[in-house]
Structures are given as structure tokens and as C-alpha cells.
Structure 1
Amino acid sequence: MIFERSLQRELAYTAGAVFMVLLTIMLTTMMIRIVGFAASGQIDPRDVLVLIGLTVIGYLAVMLIVTLFVSILFVLTRWYKDSEMVVWLASGVSLTRLIKPIAVFSTPIVILIVFFAFVGWPWSNAQSKLIRARFQQRDEVSLLAPGQFRESPTTHRVFFIESMSPDQGRVDNVFVTSTENGKVNVIVSRTGHTETAKNGDRFVVLENGRRYDGEPGHPDFRITEFQRYGVKITSQPVVSTPTASSTPTLDLIRNPSGDNLGELAWRAGLPLIAINLMLLAIPLAYQNPRRGRTINLVMAVLIYLTYSNLLNVMQSQIEQAKISFGLGLVLLHIVVLALVVFLFWLRVRNRPLFTRAMFQRASQGS
């Protein structure tokens, strides 16, 4: 039918444009955030692009939900604004007949949302944690950067080196300070190199330097000159703390703890949100062509933010065992579905969903 083909074609074009805008915003935001982590030494600068890609994969389900909701709302709102919808309704097309072509268009997107919610989200989180753990477990020399003061997370030493060879085998102009039993130890050296003992321990051997030992506030510092001084290199142990967000979906089902059930309800809620918002956009798009579309768009943003935040609340309630998993999984979505049916009923009776008078009364009452 011409009506269905026209609607699906325009939805496809609009969805592509909306998704590209959301993707650009996401990439920009993640780049600023992750580059900041790299600058502060929390992640390896060489992993920035990989972590950005993994973050985008993790949030693709949410981006697709927003894309679906906004694209349907934009297209139908424009049809009302340009009086196209009036023509279709006058031709015998009822409001409920919009559901079929929109559902056909939305089905591939909902399938992608299911995939990224149940597979992409935990996989990307697990890979991001692995990359961060590998960086954090590197030894103290690997954490050093020429020209920067770096603190070791395991020994609370502060290192500074002026330059380092590409293979990290030699360092020049080294400064090391640490605090032990209230006393400050400061070591300065012109050069140094790394050595590995027979038992596998690694050392930085400093050459031609001095060591200063003393207690802050007291003048009795001890100065020791040395030709060779070994500083043992310690490695931070890998602490693997699996979280529900990085656990595969099948493992969540096999181990139904509170956190796992809450995470499972959140993942299952994403495609349900997409379906409900897909239906909600149809009656929500109605507007008087003589008025602006600001009210509908504002209400759409508020509805989406409220819906997503309530899903997080339900997840928290399940994790704390305040409500059962089954009730927490379906209660919110049934309420929203009832709201959708009510809005369809209002539209079939030719009643506006939101009027300026409603907002004026609300502002006067407040």
C-alpha cells in the first residue's frame, strides 16, 4: 500500500539521520571522557580508540531505543504539521492502522536492541574491564612516563625520570621518594637500568646517585652516596571482581542472585521499552497544525527520561529483594502499556493529549 511504503521510507531516512546524530554525540562525549582518563594515567593512551569503540557498542541498545522513538515521533509530527495525516485519516486510514507499518519498520531495530542488550552490553563491559586490569597490573617502571611525576599504587613511591629508552631498559636522571615509618627517603641518580634476578624479581639499578633519609621537620638527615643501588620493582596484583554488568546473560540465569536478577531485568527491559515507546509515539505525535510542536517534543523527552530512570529504580528494588523478579520485570512495562492504550483511546475520541491550558493551570497552581 502507498501509505505503508511512504511511512516506512520516511521512517528509514529519519532514523538514519537521528542515529548518526546520536552516534556523533556519543563519540564526542566518550572521546573527551576517555582521553581524560588517559591523560591522568588511568588507562593506556594506546587503548583509547578501543575503549571508545567498546563503550559505543555497550550503549548501542540505548541509542537504538532513542532512535526508534524519536524517528517515529518526528515523522508523524511532521505529517500532522503539514496536514498529511489529515489526508490519510480522511481517506479511511485509522490511527491503529499505523501500528502495522511502524511495527514492520521497528522489528529489525528491536532485534538489534535485544542482541546488544543481552550480548553486546556484557561483552563490551567485560572487555573494557580486562583492558583496564591489564594496564593497572603493569609494574612500576611500565607506569612511568618521561617528564612526569607518577605514584606507584602499591608502594606509594613517587617516581620521576627525565628520559627513558624505547625498550624501557635504561632511564636517565631518576628521582624516587617514599615514606616509611614517618621517615622520608629520597633517591636521586643520573642513570639506571633494569635487571632481573634468578628468582624472577625485577630491579631498577640506579648508578652514581645519592640517598637522603630523615624525618620531616628535623635537620638530622642522613646522606648516602652510592655507585649502584637496587630498587625492587613491584607489580600490582590483578584483582578480578566480576560485576553483574559484565556477566554474560546465561550466567545471570544460572546464578540468580539479587544483583544478577536486577541486571537481567534491566537487560530484558530495554526491548520492552523500545516496543512501548514505539506504540506511545503514535498518539503522542498528534498536534494541531496551527500550533507548534514544542509541547509534544518536551513531553517525549520527559517520558523517555522518566521511563528509563524508573527502569533503573526497578533494577535497584530487585537487587535489594524488595520486590520479586517477575513483578519487577513486568510491572513498569504493563503500567506504560496501559498508558499507551489510554492515549490511543483519547485520540480515537478526538481529544488532545496535552493542551496549553493544562500547562498554564499547572504553572498557576505551583
Structure 2
Amino acid sequence: MLIFRYLAKEVFVTLASLTTILLLIFMSNQFVRYLNRAASGQIPGMIIMKLMMLELPNLMGLLLPLGFYVALLIAYGRLYAESEMTVLQACGYGPSQLLRHSFVMAAVVSVLVGIIMIWASPVIATERAKLLRTTGIQTAIQMIVPGRFRALSEGKQIFYVESMNREHSKAQQVFLARQVVKDNHLQWDILLAERAFAETDPTTLENYIVLQQGSEYEGMPGKADFQVSEFDQYKARLPHPVIEIEKDIRTTDTASLLPFNNPDKRKAAELQWRLSVPIMVLTLTLVAVPLSRVNPRAGKYAKLLPAIVLYIVYANFIFVSRDWLIAGKVPLWFGMWWLHFAVAGIGLLLIWRNQVKLS
């Protein structure tokens, strides 16, 4: 137990350091992508940090298998390079015990990754889609520049505001022209208001722009018979990007993806993908333990490069296998499982090779 605690400390400290570094790198990259989307008007800038927080668990689930794999290689590689593993073996601590203890640690990480991928991932994807959907009206409003006319809905609506507050949530002196068809005739509705702000209807959850203290002009261009009416408050729906949550397979809870032989290939592929990530932790452990054995003269990083290459090939083929499954190029029973068996076979081959060298 003392040896296990020592090994676990070495591995998990390294895992924490590696995962933190990888998270910072990938989160920075994702932050830049969200900034670009906000600059182009695809999302409002005010939700970037919320989106980043929602990305964090998913990234953790994807990076933990890589982090644990590299942590085993570095931690055990150091023990071999500094002859500590040789001392442990001289005390009766053999390769089989090392593999068994490594799988105990791998099981902990695999369960954590499984919780993220199987339960948390669809919940987070749903919340992310809802956030983007409910902030669509804010996106449209944030793209409006005071003092300039802005065309919406392919020119069918023209919006103009004289000034806006700092939060870009309230506007003063608003002009809204909408192209509508009434009695088979094309006409324009023109709205003028002193103030305007965004509002979500609590019943329908639809987003509206609320105009206050204004007038409405209805009629056909070129004719004088315009109808004029005044209002204290007027709600108008502005077009904005809407994400259909139910159409995104990532938002589907795992129970709804069952059975394994689901005739819907997209659901079958998504289910195998969610199960494949925690399985990766176990198969990579089977490879990392024998691969971490290095000659003290070669250094603890001697086999790190081929190990990383193997991981890259493994991870890429998982994505390829998912695409093959969706496209119907491979049967459901074959799916992504062949890849896990192949990597596990490589691990068993490396273990057998090390045993031959020791005998």
C-alpha cells in the first residue's frame, strides 16, 4: 500500500500539472475563437465567459485521457531513469503489481471521464445551446451602431437608433421600418419611438424589442393614405440566429441513445463516442506501463515521442471511425471497438516483449 501511495502521488501530481497546462492552452485557443465570433456579430460579447465556463468540463473530459497517459510515461520513466523502479523490483515489486496498481489509478480517472462524457456532456451542450438561443436578440442589438442604419432579415427590416446606454441594452430615439405583405400587397410599417429595450416573453420565451412612447405608420410607398397610430408600448420581434436544440445530437441524453444497435447511425455513433473516451484511459494505460520502461542512460523522456505519435494516431482514428459509422461505411458492431482492441493488443504485445527481455 505504501508503494501504491507513492506511485499514485507521482502520477496524479504530474497529471494535475499536465492537465492544467493543456487546459490553459486549449481554453486560450477557444477564447480567441469566441472573440472572433463576437467581433463578427455571431454571438454577444457578454456571454463569452459563460461559454468558456461551459467548455471547461468538456475539455477536462477530453484532456484527462491524454494527461493521464503522459503522466504515467513521465512518472514511471523518471523512476526507471533514476533506478528507483529497479530498487522496487529488487524488493519484490514486479511488473504485474505495477500494472495492477496502474489500472486502479486508471479506473478512478476513467470513472471521472465517464461521468463527464456520459452525463455532464449532454447537459452542458443543452445549456450552451439554450444560452446561445436566448441571447440571440442581444446579438442583433449589439450589432446596431448608434447613428447608423442597419438592415436586418435581408433588408426587409431597417433599424436605427440615435443613442444607446453603455450596456447596449437600452436605446433612445428609435426608428424601425418593416416590410410586410397585407392583402397581397407589399407595404412598409414604420415605427418611431423615444425608447426601446429587449425583453423575453415569460410564457412563450420569445425575444422582443419593446418600443415605448412612439408612433406607427402603415401604408404603401407612393401613396398618401398612410394610417397613423400612437402607442405607449409596442412589441416587435426582430430576426436573430436561433439554435435548434433538439437537432443537435450532442444535447441528447445518453439513455436516449440506447440501444447499442440503434438504427439511427448518428445516435449509435454518439453513444460509442461517449463510451470511447473513458475506455481510452484503460487502453492507453495498457500501453503506457510497458512503454515507460526506459534505460537509465537514455533518460526518462526516451520513449515519449513514439508514445505521443501513437496517441495522435489513436485519437484521430476515433474521429475517423465515428465518421465512418455515421456514413454507414462500417457495421455498428465494428464501430469504434476495433480501434480499442487494436491499441489494447499493442499494449499486450509490449508487455510480452518486456517479459521476454527480463526472462
TM-score range, shorter chain: 0.7 to 0.9
Higher relative contact order (CA 8 A, sep 6+): 2
After superposition, the Cα gap between the structure-2 partners of 1:239 and 1:128, relative to the gap in structure 1 and judged at 3 Å, is: closer
Equivalent positions of 1:21-60 (< 5 A) are 21-60=21-60
Name the residue aligned to 1:102.
Answer: 102
Mean Cα deviation higher: 142-151 or 239-248:
142-151
Q: Is the aligned partner of 1:9 residue 2:37? A: no
After superposition, the Cα gap between the structure-2 partners of 1:167 and 1:77, relative to the gap in structure 1 and judged at 3 Å, is: closer
Matched to 2:239, the amino acid is: Q
Which of 241, 245, 253 in structure 2 is aligned with 1:248?
A: 253
Whole-angstrom distance in 2 between the partners of 1:25 and 1:177: 46
Whole-angstrom distance in 2 between the partners of 1:61 and 1:147: 47
Give how far 1:27 is off. 2.8
Matched to 1:236, the amino acid is: P
Whole-angstrom distance in 1 between the partners of 2:313 and 2:322: 14
Equivalent positions of 1:231-270 (< 5 A) are 233-236=236-239, 238=242, 240=244, 241-253=246-258, 256-270=263-277
Contact map agreement 1:244 1:263 (CA 8 A) in 2: yes
After superposition, the Cα gap between the structure-2 partners of 1:330 and 1:75, relative to the gap in structure 1 and judged at 3 Å, is: same
After superposition, the Cα gap between the structure-2 partners of 1:140 and 1:16, relative to the gap in structure 1 and judged at 3 Å, is: closer
Contact map agreement 1:122 1:247 (CA 8 A) in 2: yes
Q: TM-score, normalised by structure 2?
A: 0.77
After superposition, the Cα gap between the structure-2 partners of 1:268 and 1:207, relative to the gap in structure 1 and judged at 3 Å, is: closer
> Identity of aligned pairs, percent?
23
Whole-angstrom distance in 1 between the partners of 2:350 and 2:35: 45
Whole-angstrom distance in 1 between the partners of 2:315 and 2:325: 16
Mean Cα deviation higher: 254-263 or 67-76:
254-263
Q: TM-score, normalised by structure 1?
A: 0.76
Name the residue aligned to 2:339.
Answer: 332
Structure 2's unaligned 5+ residue stretches are: 180-187, 200-205, 216-220, 222-227
Whole-angstrom distance in 1 between the partners of 2:27 and 2:286: 29
Give how far 1:3 is off. 2.5
Whole-angstrom distance in 2 between the partners of 1:242 and 1:257: 13
Name the residue aligned to 1:135.
Answer: 135
Contact map agreement 1:252 1:261 (CA 8 A) in 2: yes
After superposition, the Cα gap between the structure-2 partners of 1:8 and 1:293, relative to the gap in structure 1 and judged at 3 Å, is: closer
Name the residue aligned to 2:185.
Answer: none
> Deviating runs (4+, > 3 A) in structure 1?
137-143, 145-151, 153-162, 165-170, 172-178, 191-196, 200-208, 227-234, 292-295
Give how far 1:229 is off. 11
Contact map agreement 2:27 2:52 (CA 8 A) in 1: yes
Mean Cα deviation higher: 27-36 or 258-267:
27-36
Alignment length, in residue pairs?
337
Whole-angstrom distance in 2 between the partners of 1:282 and 1:203: 64
Name the residue aligned to 1:345.
Answer: 352
Equivalent positions of 1:159-308 (< 5 A) are 159=159, 161-165=161-165, 170-172=171-173, 192-194=194-196, 233-236=236-239, 238=242, 240=244, 241-253=246-258, 256-308=263-315
Contact map agreement 2:174 2:195 (CA 8 A) in 1: no
Give 3-state SS (helix, strand or coil) of 1:328's partner: coil
After superposition, the Cα gap between the structure-2 partners of 1:86 and 1:147, relative to the gap in structure 1 and judged at 3 Å, is: farther
Give how far 1:158 is off. 6.1
What CA RMSD, in Å, does the superposition of the two structures yield over aligned residues? 4.4
Structure 1's unaligned 5+ residue stretches are: 179-184, 209-213, 215-226, 352-366
Contact map agreement 1:141 1:233 (CA 8 A) in 2: no
Whole-angstrom distance in 2 between the partners of 1:177 and 1:323: 51
Give how far 1:98 is off. 0.7
Whole-angstrom distance in 1 between the partners of 2:106 and 2:333: 26
Give 3-state SS (helix, strand or coil) of 2:12's partner: helix
After superposition, the Cα gap between the structure-2 partners of 1:193 and 1:345, relative to the gap in structure 1 and judged at 3 Å, is: same
Name the residue aligned to 2:77.
Answer: 77
1:21-55: CA deviation from partner (whole Å, max 9, x where unpaired): 22222332222222332233222222222110111
Give how far 1:62 is off. 1.0
Matched to 2:309, the amino acid is: L
Give 3-state SS (helix, strand or coil) of 1:349's partner: helix
Whole-angstrom distance in 1 between the partners of 2:107 and 2:159: 56
Contact map agreement 1:311 1:332 (CA 8 A) in 2: yes
1:301-343: CA deviation from partner (whole Å, max 9, x where unpaired): 2111111111111111111222222211421111111111101
